[in-house]
Chain A
Amino acid sequence: MGIRDFLRDKVQKVNTPDQQRKEIDEKLWLKCSGCGEINYHKEVTKALQTCPKCGKHFPITVREKIDIIIDPGTFQEIDENLKSLDPLKFKDSKKYPDRVKAAVKKTGMNDAFVSGIARINDRPVHIGGIEFGFLGGSMGSVVGEKIVRLVESAIEKNTHVITISCSGGARMQESILSLMQMAKTSAALVKLRQKGLGHISLLTDPTTGGVTASYAMLGDINIAEPGALICFAGPRVIEQTIRQTLPEGFQRSEFLLEHGMVDMVLHRQDWKSGISKVLEFFG
Chain B
Amino acid sequence: MATVLDFEAPIVEIEAQLDELRNLPGLNSDQMNKEISSLEDKLAKVRANIYKRLTPQQKVMVARHPDRPYTLDYIQNIFTDFTELHGDRLFREDPALVCGMAKLDGEPVMVIGHQKGRNTKENIHRNFGMVNPEGYRKSQRLFEMADMFKRPVITFVDTPGAYPGIGAEERGQAEAIARSLMVMAGLKVPMITVIAGEGGSGGALAIAMGNRIGMLEHSIYAVISPEGCASILWKDASYAGKAAEALKLTSKDLKELNIIDEIIEEPMGGAHRNHPATAAKVKDFIVRNLAELKTMTPEQLFEDRYQKFRNMGVFAE
Binding site for B on A (CB under 8 A): 81-85, 87-88, 90-93, 141-142, 144-145, 148, 170-172, 174-184, 186-191, 209-210, 212-218, 230-233, 237-238, 241-242, 244, 246, 250-251, 259-261
Other contacts beyond A233-B168, A237-B228: 9, CB < 8 A: A84-B315, A84-B316, A90-B246, A175-B223, A177-B313, A182-B205, A183-B312, A184-B310, A216-B178
Cβ of B62 < 8 Å from any Cβ of A?
Answer: no
Shortest beta-carbon distance from A92 to chain B in Å: 4
Inter-chain contact B317/A172, CB cutoff 8 Å: no
The reply on B201 being an interface residue by CB < 8 A is: yes
List 30 A-B pairs, Cβ < 8 Å: A85-B315, A141-B314, A144-B313, A170-B201, A170-B224, A175-B246, A175-B247, A175-B248, A175-B249, A176-B221, A176-B247, A179-B222, A180-B309, A181-B312, A183-B309, A184-B309, A184-B310, A184-B313, A186-B185, A187-B305, A188-B310, A210-B201, A210-B223, A213-B177, A214-B202, A238-B164, A238-B165, A238-B166, A259-B172, A260-B172
- B316 / chain A contacts, CB cutoff of 8 Å: 82-85
A176 touches B209 (CB 8 A): no
B169 within 8 A of A: yes
B72 within 8 A of A: no
B169 pairs with A82, CB closer than 8 A: no
A84: nearest chain-B partner, CB-CB: B315
Q: Give the residue among B179, B186, B242 with the most A Cβ atoms within 10 A.
A: B186
Which of B35-43, B229-237, B287-295 lies at the interface?
B229-237
Assess whether B171 is interfacial by the CB under 8 Å rule. yes
Q: When chains A and B are docked, how far (Å) is the Cα of A25 from the Cα of B224?
A: 45
Q: Which residues of A contact B179 (CB under 8 A)?
A: 217-218
Give CA–CA (A261, B191) in the complex, Å: 29
CA gap between A93 and B243 in the complex, in Å: 11
Once the chains bind, are A186 and B178 in contact (CB under 8 Å)?
A: yes
- In the complex, the answer to whether A190 meets B312 with C-beta atoms within 8 Å is no
Nearest-CB distance from A190 to chain B (Å)? 5
Q: Is B174 an interface residue (CB 8 A)?
A: yes
Give the residues in chain B near A233, CB-CB below 8 Å. 162, 164-165, 168-169, 173
Contacts of B166 in A (CB 8 A): 238, 242, 244, 246, 250
Contact A176 B257 (CB under 8 A): yes
Interface size grouping (class) on chain B = 35 or more
Give the distance in Å from the alpha carbon of A218 to the alpha carbon of B315 in the complex: 25
Q: Tell me if B259 counts as interface (CB < 8 A to partner A).
A: yes
Cβ of B181 under 8 Å from chain A? yes
Asked if A182 and B202 sit within 8 Å, CB to CB, the answer is yes
B246 CB to closest chain A CB, in angstroms?
Answer: 5
Give the complex CA separation of A181 and B259 in angstroms: 12
Question: Which of A142, A187, A259 meets B315, CB within 8 Å?
Answer: A142
Q: In the complex, are the beta carbons of B186 and A179 less than 8 A apart?
A: no
Q: Does B44 count as interface, using CB distance less than 8 angstroms?
A: no
Contact B186 A213 (CB under 8 A): no
Establish whether residues A177 and B312, one from each chain, have CB atoms under 8 Å apart when the complex forms.
yes
Q: What A residues does B186 contact at CB under 8 A?
A: 190
Q: Which B residues are CB-close (under 8 A) to A177?
A: 257, 259, 312-314
Could you tell me the distance between the alpha carbons of A238 and B162 in the complex, rounded to whole angstroms? 12
Give Cα A255 to B257, complex, Å.
39
Q: Provide the main secondary structure of the chain A interface.
A: helix
A213→B170 CA distance, assembly (Å):
14
Residues A232 and B202 in contact, CB atoms below 8 Å apart: yes
Shortest C-beta distance, B250 to chain A (Å), equals 10
Tell me how far the C-beta of A250 lies from the nearest C-beta in chain B, rounded to whole angstroms. 7
The chain B residue sitting closest to A181, CB to CB, is B313
Contacts known (A186-B182, A217-B174); A85 close to B165, Cβ less than 8 A? no
Minimum distance in angstroms from B222 CB to a CB of chain A = 5
> Which residue from A81, A187, A191, A261 sits with its C-beta under 8 Å from B317?
A81
Mark contacts of B199-222 with chain A using CB atoms, 8 A cut-off: 1 yes-contact digit, 0 otherwise. 001100100010000000000011
Instruction: Name A186's contact: one of B181, B223, B249 (CB within 8 Å).
Output: B181
B169 close to A176 (CB less than 8 A): no
B310 touches A187 (CB 8 A): yes
B82 interface residue (CB < 8 Å to A) = no
Contacts of A237 in B (CB 8 A): 164, 228
- Taking the closest CB of chain B, its distance from the CB of A51, in whole angstroms, is 27
Are A88 and B182 neighbours in the complex by a CB distance under 8 Å? no
B173 partner residues in chain A, CB cutoff 8 A: 213, 232-233
| Residues 265-315 of B at the A interface (beta carbon under 8 Å) | 305-306, 309-310, 312-315
- CB neighbours (8 Å) of B209 from chain A are 183, 187
Query: What residue of chain B has the Cβ atom nearest to residue A185's Cβ?
Result: B181
Please give, as numbers and ranges, the residues of chain B lying within 8 Å of A260 by CB-CB distance: 172
Q: In the complex, which residues of chain B have a beta carbon less than 8 angstroms from the beta carbon of A175?
A: 222-224, 246-249
The reply to whether A212 and B174 form a contact with Cβ atoms under 8 Å apart is yes
Contacts of B201 in A (CB 8 A): 170, 179, 210
When chains A and B are docked, how far (Å) is the Cα of A180 from the Cα of B316?
A: 17
Shortest distance from the beta carbon of B181 to any chain A beta carbon, whole Å: 4
The complex places the Cα of A104 from the Cα of B121 at a distance, in Å, of 51
- Asked if residues A261 and B224 are in contact (CB atoms below 8 Å), the reply is no
Complex CA distance for A148 and B314, rounded to whole angstroms: 14
- For the complex formed, measure the closest distance between the CB of B247 and the CB atoms of chain A, giving whole angstroms: 5
Residues of B within 8 A of A83 (CB): 315-317
- By beta carbon, the residue of chain B nearest A241 is B164
- Does B11 make an interface contact (CB < 8 A)? no
Interchain CB contact (< 8 A) of A232 among B162, B222, B224, B317: B162
